[in-house]
């Protein structure tokens, strides 16, 4: 069982408090280069960064430099999380990733390719249905630089989020509460709420939070049912990578030298933006996963109890 992998390391509740604080500090350290660059750019333009929102700050820097510096904080967070797991919890990366004996990269690539194809198809379908909403944004040299940055750093960004929410926090809350549904719901809600400062929320309205929370729930279900993070890691990496390379907009969190730029005026989020992915597309993807990997016993895997392995119980008794 995936959550029970935490029993292989040190899992007292206070370790998770310290671990979260340590990871938060790592993220803050990773944000220093971005903060310095923005501050220097603002001074050179005679602007003040006080009172600027996230969207305004991102426009100060060249898009590729902005993306590179922004993603550094996630890379630092991932390194910090791995250090916390190894030295504070005495837990291996494999046990943080999966209940299998080793990480199944075939699962990662299956989810990556599947969602890469689906998400790319949605973008091109929308382009052909509403070509007036897009302009060609392609410039060869900036796009090549974008590809190098995105291919290296975006998987680190998405992996950090998956290892933090569907890995570290889900396992920690699971072994502490001895439940599966509490960490599933809690990590999904927190994952969604952490996106509340994104420019998309301001433009599309708070209803878009249904999409963010729903995405967290979808990834959490996939993790628990598949007993590992591999599918979530592949899906999340494909989602952010292909979006960054193919389309951008002035009101999105990722400002890139993508192939297309969405110039449509954003309004309140509707069915196609929020409800169709969460209530139609994601369940279909889960169905595909379930058939390919023969998922069974949904009730137990999502709502069952978390118990320490028998070997640990025996060791405690003998001691």
DSSP characters over 194-217: TTTTSHHHHHH-GGGHHHHHHHHH
Question: CA distances (Å), 42 to each of 35, 57, 252, in order?
Answer: 10, 9, 21
Question: In sequence order, which ranges of the chain are alpha helices (DSSP H)?
Answer: 13-45, 54-58, 63-83, 93-97, 105-129, 140-161, 170-177, 181-193, 199-204, 209-226, 230-246, 276, 282-293, 298-303, 310-318
Q: Are strands 260-262 and 247-249 parallel, antiparallel or unpaired?
A: parallel
The answer to whether residue 71 scores a pLDDT higher than 90 is: yes
Residue 185: pLDDT band (50, 70, 90) is very high
Which residues neighbour 225 within 8 Å (Cβ) at sequence distance 6 or greater? 286, 289, 290, 295, 298, 301, 302
Residue 308: pLDDT band (50, 70, 90) is confident
Across the chain, what does the average pLDDT equal?
91
Higher pLDDT pick, 89 / 197 = 89
Sign of the alpha-carbon dihedral angle for 164, 53, 154, 107: positive
Residue 243: pLDDT band (50, 70, 90) is very high
pLDDT in the model for residue 255 = 83
The answer to whether residue 43 scores a pLDDT higher than 60 is: yes
Question: Which residue, among 138, 148, 131, 149, has the nearest Cα to 257 in the 3D structure?
Answer: 138
pLDDT digit string (tens) for 216-235? Answer: 999 999 999 999 999 999 99
Spatial separation of the C-alpha atoms in residues 6 and 270, rounded to whole Å = 40
pLDDT digit string (tens) for 77-92? Answer: 999 999 999 999 999 9
Sign of the alpha-carbon dihedral angle for 255, 259, 263, 266: negative
Residue 319: pLDDT band (50, 70, 90) is very low
Retrieve residue 319's tokens: 């001691």
pLDDT in the model for residue 291 = 98
Lowest-confidence range among 39-48, 76-85, 179-188? 39-48
The answer to whether 213 touches 185, Cβ cutoff 8 Å, is no
pLDDT digit string (tens) for 268-289? Answer: 556 677 899 999 999 999 999 9
The answer to whether residue 119 scores a pLDDT higher than 80 is: yes
Spatial separation of the C-alpha atoms in residues 30 and 117, rounded to whole Å = 32
pLDDT digit string (tens) for 157-183? Answer: 999 999 999 999 999 999 999 999 999
Higher pLDDT pick, 142 / 57 = 142
- Per the DSSP assignment, residues forming a β-bridge with 136 are 260
What is the gyration radius of the CA atoms in the chain, in angstroms? 21
What is the pTM assigned to this prediction?
Answer: 0.92
């Amino acid at each position: 069982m995936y959550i029970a992998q935490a029993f292989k390391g040190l899992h007292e509740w206070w370790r998770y408090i310290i671990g979260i604080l340590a990871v938060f500090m790592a993220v803050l350290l990773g944000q220093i280069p971005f903060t310095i660059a923005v501050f220097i750019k603002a001074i050179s333009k005679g602007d003040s960064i006080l009172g600027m929102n996230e969207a305004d700050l991102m426009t100060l820097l060249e898009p590729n430099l902005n993306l590179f510096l922004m993603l550094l904080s996630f890379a630092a967070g991932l390194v910090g999380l791995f250090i916390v797991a190894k030295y504070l919890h005495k837990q291996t990366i494999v046990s943080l990733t999966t209940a299998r004996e080793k990480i199944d990269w075939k699962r990662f690539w299956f989810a990556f390719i599947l969602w890469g194809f689906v998400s790319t198809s949605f973008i091109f379908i929308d382009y052909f249905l509403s070509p007036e909403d897009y302009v060609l944004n392609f410039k060869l040299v900036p796009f090549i630089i974008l590809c190098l940055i995105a291919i290296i750093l975006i998987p680190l960004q998405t992996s950090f989020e998956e290892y933090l929410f569907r890995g570290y926090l889900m396992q920690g809350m699971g072994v502490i509460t001895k439940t599966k549904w509490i960490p599933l719901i809690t990590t999904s809600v927190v994952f969604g709420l952490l996106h509340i400062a994104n420019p998309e929320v301001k433009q599309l309205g708070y209803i878009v939070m249904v999409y963010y929370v729903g995405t967290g729930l979808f990834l959490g279900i996939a993790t628990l049912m598949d007993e590992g993070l591999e599918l979530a890691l592949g899906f999340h990496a494909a989602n952010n990578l292909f979006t960054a390379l193919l389309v951008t907009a002035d009101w999105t969190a990722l400002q890139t030298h993508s192939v297309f730029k969405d110039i449509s005026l954003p309004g309140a989020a509707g069915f196609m933006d929020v409800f169709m992915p969460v209530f139609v597309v994601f369940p279909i993807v889960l169905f595909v996963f379930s058939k390919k990997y023969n998922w069974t016993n949904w009730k137990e895997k999502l709502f069952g109890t978390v118990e320490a392995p028998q070997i640990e119980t025996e060791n405690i008794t003998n001691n």
